[in-house]
Amino acid sequence: MTRTLNKRDRAVLGLVLKGRSAYAASSELGIPARSAYNIVAKLCHLHYIKAIPGTDNPIIYEPDWKYLEERDEDCGKCGQGAAKGTHPHTVRPAPERFRGVATGDVCPDGYVEAHLNGSMSLTVVKTGTFDDPQIPGVGYVGYWKKEKINLNGSVNRYGSMKISRQEVTFGYRLGNKGSETFLLYPGRVFLDPECFTCEDEARQLFIDRALYVSTILANTGWKLTDPKFDGGSVFEYAIQNSPYTQFISSTDRKEPGEVFVDGSPGNPEAEISGVSDWRSLRVFARTPQYVLKALDESASARCTSEEVKARLETVFGILDLVTGVQERTADALMRESENIASLVKNNTEIVSVLTQHQAQMYYASPIEDPQKRTRMEGYQ
């Protein structure tokens, strides 16, 4: 396909999709801030990225359809279901837009990854087909796996779909006596705690996601209602690779409302659960930014301190050289002044001797009597 982005455009694109702001991208790439803002505007215009609703100062961006389409073509294969050989078509993420929710691949700074430690269930009113789910105008957004028949005669069927770049899995079970069960594992939601006031609002996001899944499956004949959280399900909020993981041991006892470390997803992440005061979650989400900023500023201060020290040493060295030159110059001027004074003294003595000599010569000469007339021979 025809590429419309140059190397710099793609560098900015990669950074903003990692949660960087346009200004932060300019600093990291060493380009003018105005250039970065222009590139971001270009990426939005070409539908590579789009602003996440509710984000401001800085604006956080997520992938748009052009980026997703190009990535699928570059991979040369379809989505997760295709990789498993279950269907021949490309799987696209189902769009989901809520205020204060990021839909990119990476959780932005200041957000938390809300997830359910447990599952949800929906009531099966009508069973549809097991055709891969799709949305008109978007395309296929998921897939069904092949059924699995258990020894007791029950049948299990599992499926998956991408919603807001997060994998949502579900399972349908037909019991050997005809009972039907539909379970849903809603995945993670990247939410900004500043846009919510309590955990009930966050829980509603998962209810809405379950209803969204039921709406998508309705296109293939399913009717699923009444989403519920299964007993024992716990809400947890995580930050992957958080600075907290450097100070909290993964073996520390977990208490409700306290931060703990969990390494089960593969990367160490700090988590908090049992949030009764929503303000504690806001502090939990924002603190890593302050910690990292403080560490960066500390490192910068140490670097600046070393630079200042080196510059001062250079200045002091120059001052030592200047002082030495001034001292040597002053000594030379002093010696020159002494020489001049000596010459002046000698000259004064010479002048005095000459004056005395002239005076002596003057007073030693005979003085002619003005009354004495000079007699000249030949005249009478």
Summarised one tens digit per residue, pLDDT across range 183-192 is 999 999 999 9
Which pLDDT tens digit goes with each residue over 230-252? 888 889 999 887 777 777 766 66
How would you class 52 by CB atoms within 10 Å of its CB: exposed for 0-12, middle for 13-18, buried for 19 or more?
A: buried
- Give the per-residue pLDDT at 150: 85
Enter the tokens of residue 376: 């000249």
pLDDT exceeds cutoff 70 at 194: yes
Closest among 61, 57, 78 to 69, alpha carbons compared = 78
* 354: Cβ contacts below 8 Å, ≥ 6 apart: none
In this predicted model, what pLDDT tens digit does every residue of 71-105 receive, in sequence order? 655 544 443 443 344 455 677 777 777 788 888 77
pLDDT in tens, 137-163: 888 889 999 888 888 888 999 999 988
Averaged confidence pLDDT in the chain:
78
pLDDT band at 215 (very low <50, low <70, confident <90, very high): very high
Residue 49 has pLDDT above 90, yes or no: no
143 in Cβ contact with 131 (< 8 Å): no
Total-model pTM: 0.55
With left for phi above 0 and alpha for psi between -120 and 50, is residue 167 left, alpha or beta?
beta
The single-letter code of the amino acid at 278 is: W
Alpha carbon distance 263, 265 (integer Å):
6
